[in-house]
Amino acid sequence: MTTTLPAYDEVVARYEPVIGLETHVELGTNTKMFCGCPTDFGGAPNTRVCPVCLGLPGSLPVANRAAVEATIRIGLALNCSIAQWCRFARKNYYYPDMPKNYQISQYDEPLCVDGYLDVEVNGEPVRISIERVHMEEDTGKTLHVGGATGRIHGATESLVDYNRAGIPLVEIVTKPIPGAGAMAPEVARAYVTELRDVLRSLGVSDVRMEEGSLRCDVNTSLNLPGEQWGTRTETKNVNSLRSVERAVRSEIIRQASVLGAGGRIIQETRHFHEDTGDTTSGRSKETATDYRYFPEPDLVPVAPDPTWVAELKAALPELPRLHRRRLQQEWGLSDLDMQSILNAGAVELIEATIAAGTTPTAARKWWLGELSRRANETGAELADIGATPKQVAELQGLVDAGKLTDKLARTVLEHVVAGEGSPAKIMVDRKLEVVSDTGALTAAVDEAIAANPAIADKVRGGKVAAAGALVGAVMKTTRGQADAKTVRELILERLGVQG
Amino acid sequence: MTDLTSFSAAELAGLVARGESSAVEVTQAHLDRISAVDDRVHAFLHVDTEGALAAARDVDSRRAAGEPLGPLAGVPVAVKDVLTTKGVPTTAGSKILADWRPPYDSTIVRRLRAADTVMLGKTNMDEFAMGSSTEYSAFGPTHNPWDLSRIPGGSGGGSSAALAAYETPLSIGSDTGGSIRQPGAVTGTVGVKPTYGGTSRYGLIAFSSSLDTPGPCARTVLDAALLHEAIGGHDPLDSTSIPAPVPDVVAAARLGASGDLTGVRLGVVREFAGEGAEPGVLAAFRAAVETLTKLGAEVVEVSCPHFRYALPAYYLIAPSECSSNLARFDGVRFGLRVGDDGVRSLEEVMSATREAGFGPEVKRRVMLGTYALSSGYYDAYYGQAQKVRTLISRDFATAFDQVDALISPTTPFVAFPVGARTADPYQMYLADLFTIPSNLYGGPGISVPCGLADGLPVGLQVMAPTMADDRMYRVAAALESAVGPFTPPAL
């Protein structure tokens, strides 16, 4: 590995990157693609299996209509044409986590073709062309044990869990994206982000990259201006939006380094490493694997009724980009404010918080302020931070009612995030409520005056600013739970001074 | 009392229903017969004595309790070892599955149980149904009850020989290129390939998915129809299963048995009625055509010009599909595993398992198919064969515009001696010359005994349009009523 890599700015000034993305989405259907086994996560190994998804001799697949429907809806949302007749195909290769030693997929007859997805990169619209959307089945999972790395090399045995085998997958493939220049990493990220939002709005998948329900392979190549596109590499193991961007950037730099040293790019699969941000070489694709694709004879062709497709199209939800535009107007936000919400991935959270009964300003303040700060600190997604929109709305309600000061509210929020329950409950349990009982407060004020006669005299003598020290003393005895303004007014009143 | 094994399934069902014989008596008689003759015939790979007697006792007790029973209640049936049977060994005639006990029943077997039949056991076959003589069974050949030195056809030789040897009145086969009809012809029994999609493939260990068709085997046309009715019909577990009721094959068989074919137009396939068949076979076939004419049928000659390409097309399509279907036999999840010594790599273990587990004919076809599907050859081989398939289907469609059904000899030659054709695969492949077109088209075909040549049975094949299985039953039953029965010499 080269120790001195060229600077990114220099690289993109010299080379033009071309990227392409292949995204696998696990559909959230109740049952698997070709059998009735449940798809839910987390069962003991090999408990979500039957003769079909184990590929036992004699078993036969039957296509899941819900999966076909979800795929058509994805295709429609991505502005694709829906095939009136298409077939599944067998992709033949040997691997122990593939029960039949072929994967049922689609080859030259995908269900959806020729679409596009409009995304925004730094406020500029970019149209990403979609080549195809097709259906296939997932493989099982292989666990290599006994070695140091968890990889097959050095392992003493391999265990296979077929629970995942046969989970419905949709593969979404872009056409090559040239012309993004230095923005190529951002374009890749914007595309995957927008795609994720579209899929989420369709309700077809839980689109969690960390859990693998949304998986992304990034193709990258470099060429000199005016020359043919270069050899591409395919980077796998890209498991977050941030990684998509980093993987493209890292691969652009690596390829430039190879080319700059007079080398050539090998067509290969590369693995992205979250910790280092590098890619390392995987399987070479120079000698193309012959998958011997042929139409799957165990399944009848898929021929969706055009009326059905039209119904699905009419029933598509408002897609995220239009939805966001509408929200921005409703919330009265500037482009910049809206952009910061988008960047934080907080649109839906804020929307839900407003729906739970608070104002756009307050909702935005909490999610982009305190909660975003915490998310950045812990590296968690905002949605997984531990506070729900309903809790945030409730917290703001307590502030609005004068029961919490802003400072107290932040303390309560900390406990909410720690999972201690609702803001109201935490406020009571932890005695964080603003002290509004004037009797108790007056006693505390009198005590402070009595304890600080010199300061009290100064205030009586007209040095009103000196009252700050008395306020501080009262706040100390009330453990910060009094409203400072109220305390100040009370002190001045007791000392017979006009505020 | 006559030996219970000499009765037809229809007669046995009547005896049991009327209480004249118990299901246990009927079952025991057939188990005894198997014990007496199967060491010479070798029709069975596994006899499920306990399971059969338990099923028979169940039928008897439910009959005694007055519960309603299926139309074939208490009638024994043997099942080709290519269909999964829950907890009962299922080998597909291969060493690679020698010890496999499936955790599930095939749809056909499930329906046989639902019909209250009694499953005697599993019958011998060419490995993975690839062959025409059962000589490619990993567990040794089956012998033809007409002449034990000869083969019983294949791949379902066990199912047909078991009928001819009176070891069972009914059996199940599977027909990919003729594996029900050709053994039927050379053992003097009835074999039916239903319309593709008319019988479920769920639990049928796949050889060639687009061609494989399970079907009934019996000694009489009516028995075959009764069995067909019991196992046929739509199955939601098989995507290629046709969502329509089974044609009324039983009524058609009864109608045909009256011996009247007035108004029926039959077409002799010109390409299959001349060269390519043994003289004795052709003579018996011509005599059968005369008989059909006498029964009132109008017989004309029809040309199906593309049928001559059926055999080469079949030997691209079937091996291609089998190369993929048999990929799952890798020693990882079930069946044989060879060389797992902690030293060999996964790939080496898979390879050693397949090397040791598959026989020569299976390997030959897997290699042929792998080649035909590979990049750069696909269009020239698999793609081209699919086009031929379309042309053959058009030949059928054109023919069925002119006639109700087509007829031909079932197979070009009578039962040949064991070992006569194993040296040259092509000579073996020719056995299916006349049966393959129906598989490529998807329509039904039946083989019914029509005469003898040199003392060995000859079969007549009747081919009908898809989902018109009833037509061929009528013709076959009429011929049967006029020429039968053909009984093999005593074993």
Best interface-test mutation with B: which of A35, A53, A143, A294 has the largest number of B CBs within 10 A? A294
Which residues of chain B neighbour A151 with C-beta distances below 8 Å?
A: none
Give the separation between CA A373 and CA A352, rounded to whole angstroms. Answer: 20
Q: Do B84 and A58 touch (CB under 8 A)?
A: yes
Please report, for chain B, how many H helices and E strands are present, in that order.
16, 11
pLDDT at A310 over 50: yes
pLDDT at B143 over 90: yes
Closest Cα to residue B295, out of B264, B319, B325, B260?
B260
Give the separation between CA B459 and CA B476, rounded to whole angstroms. Answer: 10
Best interface-test mutation with B: which of A103, A292, A299, A302 has the largest number of B CBs within 10 A? A292
Q: Report pLDDT for A402.
A: 82
DSSP B220: S
In the CATH scheme, what is the code of domain A438-494? 1.10.10
Give the separation between CA B217 and CA B233, rounded to whole angstroms. Answer: 17
Q: Give the total residue count for chain A.
A: 499
The shortest C-alpha distance from B456 to chain A (Å) reads: 35
The shortest C-alpha distance from A180 to chain B (Å) reads: 34
Q: Report pLDDT for B1.
A: 43
DSSP A38: B
Give the separation between CA A272 and CA A280, rounded to whole angstroms. Answer: 7
Per cent of chain A over pLDDT 70 is: 96
Q: Report pLDDT for A405.
A: 84
Which residues of chain B neighbour A58 with C-beta distances below 8 Å?
A: 83-84, 90, 102, 104, 106, 202-206
The shortest C-alpha distance from A105 to chain B (Å) reads: 14
Q: Do A292 and B83 touch (CB under 8 A)?
A: no
Q: Do A299 and B373 touch (CB under 8 A)?
A: no
The residue type of B105 is D
Give the separation between CA A99 and CA A46, rounded to whole angstroms. Answer: 12
Domain ranges of chain A: 8-308, 318-429, 438-494
Which residues of chain A neighbour B374 with C-beta distances below 8 Å?
A: 290, 292
pLDDT at B242 over 90: yes
Angle subtended at Cα A212 by Cα A206 and Cα A216, rounded to the nearest 5 degrees:
100
Partners of A451 in beta bridges: none
Query: Is residue A292 less than 8 Å (CB to CB) from chain B?
Result: yes
Q: Do B100 and A297 touch (CB under 8 A)?
A: no
Kindly calculate the radius of gyration of chain B based on its CA atoms and give it in whole angstroms.
Answer: 21
Which residues are CB-contacts of A245 (< 8 A; sequence separation ≥ 6)? Answer: A185, A186, A188, A189
Lowest pLDDT segment from A280-294, B193-207, B475-489: A280-294
pTM listed for this prediction: 0.87
Give the separation between CA A366 and CA A341, rounded to whole angstroms. Answer: 11
Partners of A113 in beta bridges: A81, A132
Q: At what angle do helices B249-257 and B469-483 cross, to 10 degrees?
A: 30
Task: Locate B436 and state its tokens.
Answer: 């393959």
- A to B CB pairs, distance under 8 Å: 101
Q: Do A58 and B102 touch (CB under 8 A)?
A: yes
Q: What's the whole-number mean pLDDT along residues B31-49?
A: 98
Q: Report pLDDT for B485.
A: 87
Of A57, A101, A297, the CB nearest to B321: A297
Q: Which residue has the higher pLDDT, B199 or A320?
A: B199
Q: Do B332 and A90 touch (CB under 8 A)?
A: no
Q: Do B106 and A55 touch (CB under 8 A)?
A: no
Of B106, B208, B370, the CB nearest to A58: B106
Of A55, A61, A299, the CB nearest to B328: A55
Which residues of chain B neighbour A101 with C-beta distances below 8 Å?
A: 327-328, 330
Q: Do B382 and A294 touch (CB under 8 A)?
A: yes
- In this prediction, the answer to ipTM > 0.90 reads yes
Per-residue confidence at B436, pLDDT binned at 50, 70, 90? very high
DSSP B270: G
Q: Is the alpha carbon torsion for A79, A80, A82, A87 positive or negative?
A: negative
Q: Which residue has the higher pLDDT, A151 or B181?
A: B181
Element (H, E) at B218: strand B213-218
The shortest C-alpha distance from B373 to chain A (Å) reads: 5
pLDDT at A102 over 60: yes
pLDDT at A435 over 80: no
Q: Do A55 and B240 touch (CB under 8 A)?
A: no
Per-residue confidence at A1, pLDDT binned at 50, 70, 90? very low
For residue A179, with 0-12 CB atoms within 10 Å meaning exposed, 13-18 middle and 19 or more buried, which class applies?
A: exposed
Residue B179 bears catalytic tag: yes
* Spatial contact of A234 and A204, defined as CB atoms under 8 Å apart: no
Q: What is the pLDDT of residues B286-308, one digit of tens each?
A: 999 999 999 999 999 999 999 99
* Spatial contact of A79 and A321, defined as CB atoms under 8 Å apart: no
Sheet containing B213-218: give its strands across.
B44-47, B118-123, B76-80, B170-175, B213-218, B190-193, B445-453, B456-463, B405-409, B265-269, B298-302
Pairing of strands B265-269, B170-175: unpaired
Task: Locate A120 and state its tokens.
Answer: 């925004």
Which residues are CB-contacts of A248 (< 8 A; sequence separation ≥ 6)? Answer: A17, A19, A184, A185, A188, A189, A218, A220, A235
pLDDT at A237 over 90: no
* Spatial contact of A126 and A120, defined as CB atoms under 8 Å apart: yes
Query: Is residue A288 less than 8 Å (CB to CB) from chain B?
Result: yes
Phi, psi of B157 (to 5 degrees): -60, -35
Give the separation between CA A370 and CA A373, rounded to whole angstroms. Answer: 5
Q: What's the whole-number mean pLDDT along residues A144-153?
A: 73
Q: Do B334 and A56 touch (CB under 8 A)?
A: yes
Give the separation between CA A27 and CA A444, rounded to whole angstroms. Answer: 62
Lowest pLDDT segment from A3-17, B229-243, B449-463: A3-17
Task: Locate B419 and state its tokens.
Answer: 């070992």
Per-residue confidence at A403, pLDDT binned at 50, 70, 90? confident
The residue type of B244 is A
Q: Report pLDDT for A469.
A: 87
The strand ranges marked E within A122-225 are: 124-137, 141-145, 157-161, 168-174, 214-223
Of A99, A297, A298, the CB nearest to B333: A99
Closest Cα to residue A110, out of A297, A302, A289?
A302
The shortest C-alpha distance from A157 to chain B (Å) reads: 8
Pairing of strands B456-463, B405-409: antiparallel
Q: Which residue has the higher pLDDT, A405 or B362?
A: B362
Q: Do B327 and A298 touch (CB under 8 A)?
A: no
Phi, psi of A340 (to 5 degrees): -65, -35
Q: What is the pLDDT of residues A44-61, one digit of tens each?
A: 999 999 999 999 999 999
Pairing of strands A233-238, A268-272: parallel
Task: Locate A348 and state its tokens.
Answer: 């839906």
Q: What is the pLDDT of residues A171-197, one digit of tens each?
A: 999 999 999 999 999 999 999 999 999
Q: Do B106 and A300 touch (CB under 8 A)?
A: no
Q: Report pLDDT for A3.
A: 55
Which residues of chain A neighbour B354 with C-beta distances below 8 Å?
A: none
pLDDT at A480 over 60: yes
Q: Do A57 and B236 touch (CB under 8 A)?
A: no
Nearest CA in chain A to B379: A294
Lowest pLDDT segment from A66-70, A125-129, A141-145, A314-318: A141-145
Per-residue confidence at A442, pLDDT binned at 50, 70, 90? confident
Residue B408 bears catalytic tag: no
The shortest C-alpha distance from B408 to chain A (Å) reads: 29
**Token match 């005369």: residue?**
B290
Task: Locate A233 and state its tokens.
Answer: 């590499």
Query: Is residue A289 less than 8 Å (CB to CB) from chain B?
Result: no
Which residues of chain A neighbour B84 with C-beta distances below 8 Å?
A: 56-58
Best interface-test mutation with A: which of B196, B323, B330, B374 has the largest number of A CBs within 10 A? B330
Which residues are CB-contacts of A70 (< 8 A; sequence separation ≥ 6)? Answer: A27, A28, A29, A168, A170, A202, A204, A205
Q: What's the mean per-residue pLDDT of chain B?
A: 97
Q: Report pLDDT for A2.
A: 47
First to last CA, chain B: 20
Q: Do B375 and A57 touch (CB under 8 A)?
A: no
Give the separation between CA A143 and CA A150, rounded to whole angstroms. Answer: 7
Q: Do A62 and B236 touch (CB under 8 A)?
A: yes
Report the C-alpha dihedral over residues A283, A287, A288, A290, rounded to 10 degrees.
-110
Which of B132, B179, B323, B408 is labelled catalytic? B179
* Spatial contact of B181 and B443, defined as CB atoms under 8 Å apart: no
Which residues of chain A neighbour B201 with C-beta distances below 8 Å?
A: 60
Residue B86 bears catalytic tag: no
Sheet containing A294-295: give its strands across.
A102-105, A89-92, A294-295
Residues in chain B whose Cβ is within 8 Å of chain A = 83-84, 90, 92, 97, 100, 102-104, 106, 201-206, 208-210, 236-240, 320-321, 323-324, 327-330, 332-334, 346-347, 350, 370, 373-375, 378, 382
Q: Report pLDDT for B2.
A: 65
Q: Any idea which fold B4-257 has? A: Amidase signature (AS) enzymes (3.90.1300)
Give the separation between CA B361 and CA B125, rounded to whole angstroms. Answer: 13
Pairing of strands A112-121, A81-82: antiparallel
Buried b (16+ CB within 10 A) or exposed e, B423-435: eeeeebbbbbbbb
Q: Report pLDDT for A490.
A: 84
Q: What's the whole-number mean pLDDT along residues A112-140?
A: 95
Considering A398-407, A447-456, B466-475, the range whose residues carry the highest mean pLDDT is B466-475
Please report, for chain A, how many H helices and E strands are present, in that order.
17, 14
